[in-house]
Structure 1
Amino acid sequence: MVMAAALLAGALRRGRAGGGARYFAGESLRRLVSTLVVAEHEGGLVKPSSLSALAAAEAIAKENKVSLLLGGSGPTLHKAAQHAASSHPLVNEVLVADSDVFAHPLAEPWAELLRSVQQKGGYSHVIASSTSFGKNLLPRAAALLDVSPVTDVTAISEPRVFVRPIYAGNALCTVRYTGENPCMMSIRSTSFSPTTESMPETKVAPITQVDLSFLNEVSSRKSSWVNLTSQDTERPDLANACVVVTGGRGLKSAENFKLLEQLAEKLGAAGLRFY
C-alpha cells in the first residue's frame, strides 16, 4: 500500500509538473508573438480586408506587437501609411516600401520584399488576407523562407492552432503549425471583424521606410504589369462581402442572369457567375 501510494503521488507530481510546463510554454509563446501584416491599400486608405487581418493578429495574442507592411509609390501610399498608423491599437510600426516596383500587385517583387522584411524583423507570424493578391503572394514568399503556409484561416484558437475549411468548405479542420518561424497564414476577412475601438489621439505608430537595397540583387523580372480591366460597381468586393449571390447553368440564358444581378443589388451582395 505504501509503495502504491508513493507511485501515485509521484505520478500526480509529474502530471502537475508537465501541465505547468505546458502552461509556461504557452504563456512564453504568447509573450514572444510578433506579427507582420501585409496590407493592401486603395485611395489612400487601408483596405477593409487588411483591417480584418489586424483583427486576426489581435486574436493570436492580446500582447501582440504588430508591424504593418505597405508598398507602392506616390501620395496615396503615404496617405495610406498615415491611416495605417492609427488604424489599430496593436499597430507598433508601419513599414513603407516606396518604389514603383510595388505599385502593382506582382507576386515576384513582393515576395522578395516580404523575405527581406522578415529576415530583418524576425517575426513569429506573417498574415495576409485571402484576396487574389494574398493568395498569389503568400505561397511564393513562404517558399523563399522555406516554411509551409496555413491558408484560409477562419478562426484562431492559440498562437499556432487554427481552424480552416476543407472539402470545398463542407468541413472545418483544426490544424497546429509545428514548423519554424514565421508561421505564415492567410485569413478569410469575413471571419474577422475589424475593431471598432476608438484610437487615442496620442497613439500613432511610427512610420519607417523599408531598406530596398535588395532590389539591386534581383536582376531578373519574370513578370510585368500590363493593365487592369475592371467594372465599376457599387456592390461590395467578393473577398469582403457578407452576402454572395451565385448562379450557374440552371439559369440557362443571359436574360436570367440579369435576375441574379438584380437580386444581388437588392441584397447589397456580391454577384458571382458560374458557367
Structure 2
Amino acid sequence: MFPGASADREQASYVVVGAPLDVSTTFQPGARFGPERIRRFARTYDDYDARTGRHFSDLAVHDHGDVRAWDDAAEYLDYLEGVVTDVRWDDAVPLLLGGEHTVTVAGVRATDPDVFVCLDAHLDLREEYDGNELSHATVTRHALDVADEAVVLGARTGSEAEWTRASESDVTVVAPEDVADWSPEFDSDASVYLSVDIDGADPGFAPGTGTMEPFGMTPREMRDVVREVAATGSVAGFDVVEVNDRDDGQAAALGGKLLREFVFADAAVADPDG
C-alpha cells in the first residue's frame, strides 16, 4: 500500500493504481518494479505537509494495488483503461504508478482530457518504434488521439520526424532551461491529464529509469510544475512512470514525492478550508 493511502474505496477521492507493464523498454528494463519501489521509498515521508497544513492520510487516498501486467500490451491497456474508468465513475482521481510510459495511454483514454501535460526527456511522438505502435516512445502521439493539445515539459531529444510533428499548433515543447518560467494557461473549463515520466529529471537526480538523457530538470522544477498544474483544479488523472530498479531509490523517492505533492495541491483546491 502507498503510505497513507488508507481510505476505503467507496470514500476515496484519489485511487492509486499500480501498472507494472515492462514490455517495450529499449535500454534498461525493470519498470515492472516501479510501483513497488515508489511505494517502498515513500515510507519515510512524514504524513504532515507544512505548506498546505494537511495530513496525507486525511485526504481520502485509496490504493487499489497493482493490475498485473502481461505481454500483450494492447490487451493490457484495454483492461487497465477499464480499471481507471471505474475510478473516474466513482468520482475519484486516478493516480497511476508505472511501469513503462505506455500505461499512460490507458489513463488518457479513460479520462478523456482536453490537454495532455507531460514532464519528459523525450517527445514520444513517434508513430512506431522498432515496428511497435504501442511503445513508450509513442505515448504523446497516442495522447493526441484523445486530447486537443499536448504540452511536453523538459523534452530534449527526439527524431527529426518527431521535432517536425512537435512544431504543429497542437503541441507545445518547453525546453528544460525554460521550465522554471512556464505556467499553465489552459481554458478555465479544460480538463487535464498530468503525466510524470521520471526521466524528465536529469539522470544525476533519478538514474533509475529506462532511457536516461542528460541536461534535464531538477526535482524542484518538476515539483513546481506538478503543484501549478494541480492548482488549476482541472486534473482528471495523474501518473508517475518509468521508475525502475537500477538505482538506490532516487527515482522512486522522487516519484513518490511528486505524487504526494500532486495530491496535497489538488486537495487544497478542491477543499480550501480542509
| TM-score with structure 1 setting the length | 0.33
Larger Rg: 1
Q: Per chain length, whose mean CA-contact separation is higher, i.e. which structure has more relative contact order (CA < 8 Å, sep 6+)? A: 2
Which protein has the bigger strand share? 1
| TM-score with structure 2 setting the length | 0.33
